[in-house]
Structure 1
Amino acid sequence: MRTTPNKTGKNVRPAKKYTQSRLAVGSSPSKFVKCPKCEMPYSPNSTRDIAAHKSFHDLVLKGRKWQKKWGVAVLPASNEITSSIHSSHITEGIFKVRPDNLQEVNAMMEIMTMVNNELHAPQDENTFWMEEDITGAAFVYVKGDRAVGAVTMEGLDDTRGRWMIYRSQKIVPKVLPKFELGISRIWVCRTQRGKNIATKLLEAARANTIKDRVVSKQFVAWSQPTDAGGKLASKYNSVKHKSGELLLPCYI
């Protein structure tokens, strides 16, 4: 498969695009169905569609296949992860993706493409964590042979911080709080949600994005959180204003 260089000069394989084909038999148009679990529309009459749906279905529900040799094992700030993190046969743990490992990068890019599609987010924000002159990192939560969760973090300058009112999702005007790290994307596959994986990823990320530093929760911000992301943010590091409103740390 053709590869394209990113800003660091590395050849990153374009992530798979899960799109349905258009198969017509005679003059009859193809009938499309929408999977009730992964929500992908596809044609049950198309071999290519069926294969694409199976791949996408597994990715959304079960996570991305992840090889044991990929990534560097890390501990979250609160040491909540299983003690098997120290074992050479880790069955569950958090791993930092190495920007100089093409296989890890391509696997992470495939996850991010799917996440952005789910969030209707731009696809041009996937590679900052690979850049040498930018503070950033990508982490995955691995169970068995699959990455079932992922988070990407980026360093923030003093101009990007904002407060968002949780109830109305409106930005507080003329206030520029200072945050150090931004949560660009965070995702957990559908069969693993509700198991505290997102929180464990955040704990690991703030302890391992900046070398030899654990960034306090109060200096971590969210990028345009969705409803689900807003709920997580409200529990993780929101601040209650004297007005009674709950404020979420965000950035633009």
Structure 2
Amino acid sequence: MQAKISSFFKPSTTTNQSQLLESIEDIPLFETTKEPEILITYECRRRKPNTDLSRSDENESEEDIGEKAIGSGLADTHVKPVTKGRVLNKKRSYAQMYLEFGQSNFHLQNCSICGLKYARGEEGDEKNHKEFHKNYTHGIPFKGWRNERVVPMNSSHGDRIVLVLNSDPSAQKNKILEVAKMIEGELGLSDGWLLHKLCKVYLYVSAQRIAGCLVAEPIVTAYKVVSSSGIQKVSDCNKTKSDRAVSTVLQFGSVNFRREVIKGVPAGNKIDLNEDYSGSICCEKEAVPACCGVRAIWVTPSNRRKNIATKLLDAARASFCAGYVLEHSQMAISQPTSAGKALASRYSGTESFLVYNSGLNTLMDHW
């Protein structure tokens, strides 16, 4: 048994050891032969400054470029990193635009006609103001649509009135929004107040421009305006009561002061468009039935005094209710200005025209 164990751990042959020693002896301690040298040359060329801003190389710093050169083996004592070049645009003008010497018109100018603010002397602002001023005074350009809803009227100059509804195509509604924005700016209305989904818009087209616009909406009731004669009677009655209650003599010790009352001349029954109709409106308490409410009516400054507003009102009376022509007493006006009061009095033939509250429809969906 012991013989078998010894034979298991005993090296098989001695020849392997001898061969290993011979191979070790053949290896020299020091290498005496030289390997063939391979010369590698690098050609360094300066890159031209890159003027293309779209490339990402422009955003690299000088340190990043130097690190790249070291990593590629190009970093040498005589090689300098390429710096980022910047070429100025020779066509750009660096001249000073304005010189302030205390002049009164240095800031933005406000046009007294169209109300647009612009910088005088600036080519872009001058061009924008000229275009806006022409659209404001003569009307927004309008070449027409393929399918128009034209309201019949008597015209010898080729003018026409076009009716636009909320259900019409978006191209027509965009033109209406452009006109409404100009009307809201002149009348001092908030943006988007003028139009809602029940409105009917009448455009007066003349010489391929929108010379006037009327926005109408359905209403149920309205109120009669108290005429100036009725207001005069109420004021006279109030004066007599106050005169009785308050004495016209002021006494300070032994000195007496007497008040002098100057009575104004009552206005006549004649309606003048140039008359100042500013002030509050007194209405009756009882409401009367009405069908059509004029939310706003507007005519360009260069086309006023040409009965365009009257033609728009006639078109609204004839086409607002299908197959039925409204009476003058069935139309009411909303928030009239001084010119609107004069127009309503002249069109209805009386100072007791109808007005209504347009705030009831302000919560409806807009165009």
TM-score by length of structure 2 reads 0.51
The change in CA–CA distance for 1:177 and 1:48 in structure 2 (over 3 A counts) is farther
Contact kept in structure 1, 2:292 and 2:330, CA below 8 Å: yes
The one of 211, 214, 220 aligned to 1:151: 214
Would you say 1:163 and 2:224 are equivalent positions? yes
- In angstroms, what is the RMSD of aligned CA positions? 2.4
Which of 316, 321, 330 is 1:210 aligned to?
Answer: 321
Deviations 1:176-235 (A, max 9, x none): 122110001111111110000000011001111222221111100000110111110010
Q: 2:107 aligns with which of 24, 27, 31?
A: 31
User: How far apart, in 2, do the equivalents of 1:51 and 1:196 lie?
Assistant: 32
Match of 1:72 in 2: 149
The yes-or-no answer on 1:190 pairing with 2:258 is no
TM-score calculated relative to the size of structure 1: 0.73
The corresponding residue for 1:181 is 292
Runs (4+) off by over 4 Å: 24-30
Q: 1:26 to 1:145 in 2, by over 3 A?
A: closer
State the 1:25 CA deviation: 5.5
Structure 2 unpaired stretches of 5+: 1-95, 229-278, 358-367
2:135 matched to which residue of 1?
Answer: 59
Which of 203, 219, 222 pairs up with 1:140? 203
Q: Which has the larger radius of gyration?
A: 2
Distance in 2 (CA, whole Å) between partners of 1:165 and 1:47 is 53
Matched residue type, 1:60: Y
1:118-157, CA deviations, whole angstroms, 9 ceiling, x for partnerless residues? 11123333332xx2xx3x3101111121110110100002
Deviation (angstroms), 1:98: 4.3
Query: How many Å apart are 1:37 and its aligned residue?
Result: 3.1
| Counterpart AA for 1:248 | F
User: Which consecutive unaligned segments of at least 5 residues does structure 1 have?
Assistant: 1-23, 85-90, 240-245
- The answer to which structure has the higher strand fraction is 1
Structure (1 or 2) with the greater helix fraction: 2
> 1:30, CA displacement in angstroms?
5.1
Amino acid at match of 1:54: K
Asked if structure 1 preserves the Cα contact closer than 8 Å seen for 2:149 and 2:163, the reply is yes
Are 1:82 and 2:159 counterparts?
no
Number of aligned pairs?
Answer: 206
The correspondence for 2:126, drawn from 50, 61, 70, is 50
| SS state at 2:225 partner | strand
Cα distance in 2 for residues equivalent to 1:166 and 1:43: 47
Alpha carbons 1:237, 1:249 under 8 Å: kept: no
The change in CA–CA distance for 1:49 and 1:164 in structure 2 (over 3 A counts) is farther
CA 1:73/1:118 → structure 2, altered by over 3 Å: closer, same or farther? same
Work out the CA distance in 1 between the residues paired with 2:332 and 2:114: 29
Q: Residue 191 and residue 83 in structure 1: after superposition, are their counterparts in 2 closer, same or farther (change >3 A)?
A: closer
Q: What is the CA distance between 1:35 and its match in structure 2?
A: 2.4
